[in-house]
Amino acid sequence: MQKQLHPLDPLRPEEISRASQILRQSQPNEHIVFRVITLQEPAKSVLLPYLEAEHLHQPLPQRPRREAMVQFFSGSSENFYQVIIDLDRASIVSGKDLRGYHSYTDFEEQTRLEQLCLFDDRILKVIEKLALPEGAVINVEPWTYAPDGVEDAMQRLTMCYFYMSLSSNADSNHFMYPLDFCAEVSDDGIKKIFKLPGTAEERVQELRVEDIRRFDRRKIHSGSEYHPALKQDHRTSTKPYQVWQPKGPSFRVQGQVVEWEKWRFRVGFNYREGLTLHDITYDSRRLFYRLSLSEMFVPYGDSRAPYPRKAAFDLGNNGAGCDCLGHIKYFDAYHNTLKGQPVVLPNVVCCHEIDDGILWKHTNYRTQNAVVTRSRVLVLQTIITVANYEYIFAFHFTQAASVRYEVRATGILSTAPIELNEQVPYGKVVAPGVMAPYHQHLFSLRIDPWLDGQKNSFAVSESVPMALDPHTNPFGVGYTTRCDIIESESAHDLDITKARTFRIINENSINPISGRPVGYDIVPSPAQMLLAHPSSFHSRRSEFADHAFWVTRHHDGELFAAGDHTMQSQGGQGIASWIKGERSAGPAGQLYHRPGPLSVRDDDIVVWHTFGTTHNPRVEDWPVMPEERMTVTLKPNDFFERNPSLDVQPSRQEDNKSVLVVEDSECCADALKFRLGEGKL
């Protein structure tokens, strides 16, 4: 007998099949194309009693119904709909008309667009006129269309850029030869072909055959390949590094539940956010109801058309492998085909432990006795590839009760053609005829807390100097902190000059030592916010990207900081709109309005942190970029009565098996002399 699924377990393959079958039976005469079949998480008010009973080891109430959220096309992509399906009762609970919105793109659609371009007579004529070198291979890079006010965004559009490879190896880096034309493509075929600008002064224009210039063969160069099969000059100095855990890992996994070093949480995965974490506790104390990456926006800064159309919501537009060492637990996930059949996504999340150096240490200088404890960290990691870029997303759990969320960006720069010996003010030449444009990566981390209970508050603290006073601050060295507890939904920014800190607190749970509310600090990843003008489509479409922090009252269905449907979005949806008073009544409801921001003090709140990087490429980022790392930390502040890692065992040689390195007598003779006091300075 199959074990009953937990309300938060991702949909199983048989549930995906069941959902598609129920929808087909309800519309037997329609041609249905399934875009999304995913878990519809239970409403928080329904799920909390179930989780509470779990924590207290009490008899469980009736399990919330298993529901699936299904998005689909009926006939054509213009007829876009969403339904919520009750899998237990085999019925459709609700529906929503999504016509006017666009579904995310996927590998199947991108492959179709590539083939459409490569077999188009006009494109083939352009390629012929370019007179490319013998053996050239053409690659097409479809980019989801970002509205710029020129075209009607009601029609589904894609911008396709063209690149050339001069190697027969399919892994050759085609971004080293960007070609100077692109195509605007709809579902019906190629609408327009443009000549791309090659200088700062040039402007885009529709391409005429008579204007096509032969490919400048002076741009042919070496040194832009990265794949091992195409590079032979690898260093030989790096010796193997192996992780060995003779007694196995310290974590325990049962289904979707992970337990490790007083931590307990559930692992989820969906098409939009990728890795999600639920019901997170430490030493049986409730910390977070849900943690997830809500959105990722990558706007490009090249102001010449058509490049303003390069503005990718890499989660909302594209949907969401692992490289780990040691004892590894992999989690699979399930998606659906266009026909509604389940498909396995193997190893989408990996779980493993890493050594993270010193956790804490002290040497008593009187006795010279030292105590050192090494830090062990549990890592939950997932990786997505979005065309040229890779993103590595990881939650790091520490023995000191902190959670770090880490994003690493790597991969290949998106490139554009440029004339030889030209420069532009919005990008960097990284190879002959190859320009990498400036761009930003902006992320929104969604933090749904329940610190010692469901009612929490959001506090902003600053460190400020005390006034010079003969009684309270006679030497002028005193400083203090001031704290504001935020009353209503709002946005907040960083201020390094005041050491501004952001904290989630529970005013109903007081720390017996400090006498202050228990809390968790959100240690931000400092970043420049969106650079695009407020009137731009970039800004209108990414409502979260103007401020480092937002706090809202929890509403079921408000998961995505830029709104539910970012593909060719026009703006007016997302976190700023919610605060203004435009909210939908749950994930399947209609838009409703109510005046003013809602109260968030001592309530069920959600905190959103915007972070990222302004990436002005370097030559050293080419041909493949060393990882760029961003980290956000959730750290206890007055939550415990002492250092929560005080009980971690001190480091011992019999466990660590550290080995002294014997120094090379030839290369290190001088160093040994200095160490023995024989050298002279």
pLDDT tens digits, residue range 235-283? 999 999 888 889 999 999 999 999 999 999 999 999 999 999 999 999 9
Asked if residue 112 and residue 84 are part of one domain, the reply reads no
Structure tokens at 566: 């970012």
Radius of gyration from C-alpha coordinates of the chain: 28
Q: Which has more confidence, 625 or 310?
A: 625
pLDDT tens digits, residue range 187-237? 889 999 999 999 999 888 899 888 899 999 999 999 999 999 998 788 999
Q: Is the peptide bond before 240 cis (omega within 30 degrees of 0)?
A: no
Number of domains composing the chain: 3
Asked if residue 186 and residue 93 are part of one domain, the reply reads no
pLDDT (average), residues 450-472 = 98
Q: Distance between CA atoms of 445 and 214, rounded to whole angstroms?
A: 47
Asked if residue 81 and residue 62 are part of one domain, the reply reads yes
Average pLDDT across the chain, whole number: 92
Asked if residue 92 and residue 112 are part of one domain, the reply reads no
Task: Choose the final residue of a domain: 163, 198, 219.
Answer: 219
Asked if residue 529 and residue 483 are part of one domain, the reply reads yes
pLDDT (average), residues 36-51 = 97
Asked if residue 272 and residue 177 are part of one domain, the reply reads no
pTM of the model: 0.94
Residue 207, class by beta-carbon neighbours within 10 Å (0-12 exposed, 13-18 middle, 19+ buried)? Answer: buried
Asked if residue 515 and residue 366 are part of one domain, the reply reads yes
Asked if residue 202 and residue 81 are part of one domain, the reply reads no
Q: Any idea which residues carry the catalytic annotation? A: 314, 389
List, in order, residues 6 or more apart from 114 with CB less than 8 Å away. Answer: 140, 142, 160
612 contacts 527 by C-beta, under 8 angstroms: yes
CA 167, distance to chain mean position in Å, is 33
Task: Choose the final residue of a domain: 97, 131, 165.
Answer: 97
Does 662 map to a domain?
A: no
Does 237 map to a domain?
A: no
CATH at residue 61: 3.10.450.40
Q: Which residues constitute the domain of residue 179?
A: 107-219
Does 306 map to a domain?
A: yes
Does 2 map to a domain?
A: no
Instruction: Give pLDDT, residue 680.
Output: 39
* C-alpha angle 256-261-266 in degrees, rounded to nearest 5: 20
Task: Choose the final residue of a domain: 196, 219, 242.
Answer: 219
Asked if residue 148 and residue 86 are part of one domain, the reply reads no
Structural element, H or E, at residue 436: strand 434-437
Residue (of 441, 412, 444, 413) closest to 524 by Cα position: 444
Does 555 map to a domain?
A: yes
pLDDT tens digits, residue range 628-644? 999 999 999 999 999 99
Helix axes 121-130 and 107-118, enclosed angle (nearest 10) = 70
Does 297 map to a domain?
A: yes
Question: How many Cβ atoms sit within 10 Å of the Cβ of residue 283?
Answer: 12
Asked if residue 292 and residue 204 are part of one domain, the reply reads no
Structural element, H or E, at residue 181: strand 178-186
Asked if residue 354 and residue 381 are part of one domain, the reply reads yes
Asked if residue 365 and residue 295 are part of one domain, the reply reads yes
CATH at residue 473: 2.70.98.20
pLDDT bracket for residue 318 (50, 70, 90): low
CA 493, distance to chain mean position in Å, is 21
CA 405, distance to chain mean position in Å, is 10
Structure tokens at 347: 């190893």
Does 30 map to a domain?
A: yes
84 contacts 588 by C-beta, under 8 angstroms: yes
Does 225 map to a domain?
A: no
Instruction: Give pLDDT, residue 651.
Output: 85
